[in-house]
Amino acid sequence: MASVGAHLRELRTRRGVSLEEIARTTRVAPRYLESLEADAYDELPAPVFIRGFIRAYCQALGESPDEALACYDTREGHEPPPPRPAPLPRAAAGEPRSRGTIVVSLILLVVLGMALFTVALVLQPREEGQPSAPELGPAPPPPVPASEPAIPPPPVAVPSTPPPGPVPASAVPRAAPPSPAASTPPPAVTPAAPAPTLAALAGEFSAPYRLIARVSDPTWIRVRTEDGRTSEETIPAGEVREWVSNRPLVVTIGNAGGVALELNGRALPPLGARGVVIPRLVLPPGSR
């Protein structure tokens, strides 16, 4: 089997396309394409980017990238990724969990029934006719013997309360004057202005449209311009790409948190978090 570089070079020669045209279409640096055709993998970035370069190279020529990727995966010292194990049937995987759920439910029902039975015994009223405990009250005085005369208790002297007189003015407490800090109203809080969105920028751009992508994290981007041509590539971190079109652009981004966009020199709001896919975003916003 031919090497990846020889296979790609043969496809390009058969099509009669120069290396500069492929670099312009795929947005891949020419030095990377030259190293790819020369099988100089030491001069290329990580394998994930090499696979992206091969895919973009074949798509620029209108060829299927499967054969080239198979050549790259089966080259010396590299094995293709192992196949993923088949997932377990849903019924078999869920059977132990269903049994465990039923057992736990039965145990909870038994515990709940015992608790309700105990509460019912505690709150059950006593049977009618059962003597109740006598209410406690003050003990009666001891009986007086008949031979001795009853001695009346001494009268209790009740102190007389003098009538209330006028209260002197000096005894009336005066209210403390309000402090300056308490009378000063709190300062008004100005709410923060909401962050602009893409929908709020509709109608603020005019053709031609110049779109710039500044990549901070490896990001896959596909852009369709006015003539219907589509460019697709995986852009490494730290690089910048630019597209110009007289009609709205359709952009698909595979890592929204790893790219910042500018349209006609104006920075667009953040598109999303890292790893979020943005499909078919029309720029400028509000266009059809």
Spell out the SS3 assignment of the chain. Answer: CCCHHHHHHHHHHHHCCCHHHHHHHHCCCHHHHHHHHCCCHHHCCCHHHHHHHHHHHHHHCCCCCHHHHHHHHCCCCCCCCCCCCCCCCHHHHHHHHHHHHHHHHHHHHHHHHHHHHHHHHHHCCCCCCCCCCCCCCCCCCCCCCCCCCCCCCCCCCCCCCCCCCCCCHHHCCCCCCCCHHHHCCCCCCCCCCCCCCCHHHCCCCCCCEEEEEEECCCEEEEEECCCCCEEEEEECCCCEEEEEECCCEEEEECCHHHEEEEECCEECCCCCCCCCCEEEEEECCCCC
**Model pLDDT for residues 69-113, shown as the tens digit of each residue:** 888 887 755 554 544 544 444 544 445 566 888 989 999 999 999
Residue whose entry in the numeric block shows the structure tokens 């790819």? 36
Closest by alpha carbon to 241, among 249, 233, 250, 230?
233
Q: What pLDDT score was predicted for residue 154?
A: 53
Between 204 and 191, the higher pLDDT residue: 204
Q: Is residue 213 situated within a structural domain? A: yes
Q: Are 263 and 240 in contact (CB under 8 A)?
A: no
Name the residue range of residue 32's domain. 4-73
Closest by alpha carbon to 284, among 251, 238, 235, 241?
251
How many domains is the chain built from? 2
Instruction: Give Cβ neighbours of residue 95 (< 8 Å, ≥ 6 apart).
Output: none
Q: How large a percentage of the chain has pLDDT more than 70?
A: 65
Q: Are 272 and 281 in contact (CB under 8 A)?
A: no
Q: Is residue 105 situated within a structural domain? A: no
Q: Is residue 169 situated within a structural domain? A: no
Q: Is residue 65 situated within a structural domain? A: yes
Domain termination residue (choose one: 73, 103, 120): 73
Cis previous bond, 284, omega within 30: yes
Q: Are 219 and 52 in contact (CB under 8 A)?
A: no
**Model pLDDT for residues 27-78, shown as the tens digit of each residue:** 988 898 888 888 888 888 888 898 898 889 998 888 888 888 888 887 755 5
Q: Is residue 20 situated within a structural domain? A: yes
Domain termination residue (choose one: 38, 73, 108): 73
Domain termination residue (choose one: 57, 73, 89): 73
Between 7 and 167, the higher pLDDT residue: 7
Q: Is residue 271 situated within a structural domain? A: yes
Distance CA 6, CA 220 (A): 26
Average per-residue pLDDT for the chain: 75
Q: Is residue 85 situated within a structural domain? A: no
Looking at the DSSP bridge assignments, the partners of residue 231 are: 223
Structure-token pair, residue 273: 């978090």
Closest by alpha carbon to 223, among 58, 57, 33, 26?
26
Q: Are 30 and 20 in contact (CB under 8 A)?
A: yes
Distance CA 194, CA 144 (A): 93
pTM of the entire predicted model:
0.34
CATH number of residue 21's parent domain = 1.10.260.40
Q: Is residue 173 situated within a structural domain? A: no
